[in-house]
Amino acid sequence: MLNLTNDLIFFDLEATGLNLTRDRIVQIALIKLFADGRPTEELEMKINPTVPVSAEATAIHGLTNADLQDAPTFAEVADRLYTFIGDADLGGYNSNRYDVPLLQEEFYRAGYFLDTSSRRLIDAQHIFYQMEPRTLGAALKFYAGKEMTDAHDALADVRATVEVFRGQLKHYAGATYTREDGTVIEPFTDIDAVAEFCRDDRFLDATRRIKRGPNGVPTFNFGKHAGKPVAEVFAKEPSYLKWILDKDFTTEVKALVQAIDEARRKG
C-alpha cells in the first residue's frame, strides 16, 4: 500500500437512479484508510430518499421505498457524514463520474459544500481502463497472443476480430455466466448461445434511445421525457413524435417510435 499523506476514504453509493441531479442516495458505505496507519474504519447506512426508487434501480440493488421508509433522510445524516469525511481524499469505482458528483449534490441540498478542488480523487475504474485497455489490439494480444499491426485498416481489423473470437471460444469453452437475476447460463455452447449472450435486452434500438421500462414498456432513454413511456408521451404531446422524425435520429429509432405510436392509436 502507498504511504498516505492524508486520510483516504473509499466509498460507494446506491441510488434511486442514475441522474446526478434528480436521483437520491438510498445507501452509502465508506471505508476510511488513515494516513497514520490506524486500522480502517467503516461506516454504512441506508437512507430514505424521499422520492420513488425506480424499478430499474431496485433490480440492481434490491432496495425499495418500503425497505427505506424508516431510514433517516440524507439531511438527517449529512452532518455525521460530513464530519466522517472531513478533509480526506476520496476514492471509489467510477466515482469521479458518478459517486462523487452525486454525493456533492446531496450535500448541497442539505446545506453543505463538499469541496473536491484540493482533494485527491482516486478512481479504481479509471485505473483499470487505463492499464487494461479494451481495444482490439489488447484483445488480440490477450486471446491470441499476437501484436496488432495496421490498426484501423479495415481488413487488418476484421482479421484480428476473427482471431479474437476464435480465441474467446477456446478460452471460455465450458465457462458459465451468472446473470443479474441469478440465472446461470453457458454462453459458448453454440452460435445461438453466443448471439443471445451478446444481445442487450435493456434497449430496443442500437443507439439506446429507447429502452425497456417496467414490464417491458418502451420508454424514452434521452431528453426531457427520459424515463417516461413512449406511447404515454405521444398521447399527451403528439408534436414530440414529429420532432423526433425531423431530427437527426437513426432510421431505426424513427421507425420504432412510429410503430409504437401507430399501435397506441389503434388501441
DSSP-derived secondary structure for 124-154: HHHHHHHHS--SHHHHHHHHH-----STT-H
Task: Find out whether 25 and 106 touch, Cβ atoms under 8 Å.
Answer: yes
For 169-205, the pLDDT digits (tens) are 999 999 999 988 899 999 999 999 998 898 888 999 9
Render the burial of 133-165: b for 16+ CB within 10 Å, e for the rest: eeebbebbbebbeeebeeeeeeeeeeebeebbe
CATH class of 8-128: alpha beta
| CA distance linking residue 33 with residue 14, whole number of Å | 21
Q: Where are the alpha helices (DSSP H) in 86-228?
A: 100-109, 124-131, 136-144, 154-171, 191-198
pLDDT for position 224? 95
- Residues facing 85 on adjacent strands: none
**Percent of the chain surpassing pLDDT 70:** 100
Where do the structural domains in the chain lie, given as residue ranges?
8-128, 136-198, 210-266
Query: Is the pLDDT at 8 greater than 70, yes or no?
Result: yes
For 26-67, the pLDDT digits (tens) are 999 999 999 999 999 999 999 999 999 999 999 999 999 999
| CA distance linking residue 23 with residue 17, whole number of Å | 5
Res. 137 pLDDT band, cuts 50 70 90 = very high
In terms of pLDDT, which residue wins out, 212 or 129? 212
Query: Is the pLDDT at 2 greater than 80, yes or no?
Result: no
Q: Residue 42: left if φ>0, alpha if ψ -120 to 50, beta else—which one?
A: beta
pLDDT for position 1? 58
Query: Is the pLDDT at 21 greater than 80, yes or no?
Result: yes
